[in-house]
Structure 1
Amino acid sequence: MSYQQPISNGPPIERVTVMQGQALASASLGIEYSTVLGSCVATCFYDPEAHIGGMNHFLLSEPPANTPGTQVDEHYGVYLMELLVNEMLSKGARKYNLRAHLYGGANVNRNMMKIGSMNADFAREFLRREGIMLLREDLGGTQARRVDFRPASGQVRLRTVEDRFAPPVQPTPRPAVAQGDVELF
């Protein structure tokens, strides 16, 4: 078990599970985001001045090259990274203040493509391209992880998950049409 920035005692906490295809942001001291990752990647963003943070959970980095560009799929990192940044900005965060943590990207099934590695590479490249400082990463390997993140303080707890508790490596059903707005910058 490894921990970063131990989560301190304080007011009662509401744990919110961040599922595949979600990006959530908050400034509430009473919120803790939690997710379990195999090959998926979760990004935790934090603005230390505004005390706003957020987490996303993406299944795949980008759609295949032959996919029509008119439809948005919220399971892809290319969409969820932008969505999370926009959520944070809408709550008062400043892009130049964002700090990031990256977790997941394991290659849990040796017989499958290296999806976890592709997800990890995408997330690192996104941060580099957008000029967002990466504070900590725990990516790769073969073990699943559980991440607990308190968005208002930026505190993170990371634990490895026994294989029998790891999430299945199968995509969830996707809606025919994605909803919501994303502003690309």
Structure 2
Amino acid sequence: MPGGRILITQGQRAVGNCSEVVIATLLGSCVACCIWDEEAGVGGMNHMLLTVSAQKTGMCNMVGVNAMELLINDILKLGGQRNRLRAKAFGGAQMVAGLSDVGTINAAFTLEYLNKEGIACMGHSLGGTTARSILFWPATGRVLQKTNPSEKPEAPRTIAADKGGNGIELL
């Protein structure tokens, strides 16, 4: 597999088995699960969004399980062994105050899935209110996370009215 950067977005996944491969994504309320088998030098990352509406209809687990199983199966096809898989999870932020906290749903699903499947979670950065950029080296499990602090909107500036006449008459 050739080296290089692979960018994934919502609903996508990528795998690699080369030390030069880096998988990248940008997360808000979505969760990325990085799973790898270091001994085989193979791993992958997915980018999941499990919506509140999916949770209400019972589809949340089906969508999440499908996303995780597809990623794991891709890793196994490249020589990984399920009993050696390790994971790290990122994302799940609450990006808009006052709206449903879908990030918490995504984070909870991910940790619960890993626990039920016996995949050790070696670390995670979940929740909060800021976006994250993730770089993942699938052959080794190395992850670089950069948080992207949200900028607070500035209050509108008040422009002082001109006290003197400027020759303009407003109608």
TM-score grouping bracket, smaller chain normalisation = 0.7 to 0.9
What is the deviation of 1:37?
0.3
Name structure 2 gaps, 5 residues minimum.
152-171
What is the deviation of 1:67?
6.4
Q: TM-score, normalised by structure 1?
A: 0.74
Name structure 1 gaps, 5 residues minimum.
1-11, 165-185
Query: Which has more helix, going by share of residues?
Result: 2
Counterpart of 2:90? 103
Counterpart of 2:107? 120
RCO (CA 8 Å, sep 6+): is it higher in 1 or 2? 1
Q: Cα RMSD (Å) of the superposition?
A: 2.1
Counterpart of 1:152? 139
Counterpart of 2:43? 53
Q: Which runs of 4+ in 1 moved over 6 A?
A: none
What is the deviation of 1:53?
0.9
- Distance in 2, Cα, partners of 1:33 & 1:101: 14
Query: Pick from 30, 50, 57: which aligns with 1:40?
Result: 30
Identity %: 40
Aligned ranges for residues 55-74 of structure 1 at < 5 Å? 55-60=45-50, 63-64=54-55, 66=57
What is the deviation of 1:78?
2.4
Q: TM-score, normalised by structure 2?
A: 0.80
Question: Which residue identity does 2:134 align to in structure 1?
Answer: V
Aligned ranges for residues 76-87 of structure 1 at < 5 Å? 76-87=63-74
Aligned length in residues: 148
Larger Rg: 2
- Distance in 1, Cα, partners of 2:51 & 2:89: 13
User: Contact 2:42–2:138 at 8 Å: present in 1 too?
Assistant: yes
- Distance in 1, Cα, partners of 2:57 & 2:17: 39
- Distance in 1, Cα, partners of 2:6 & 2:100: 30
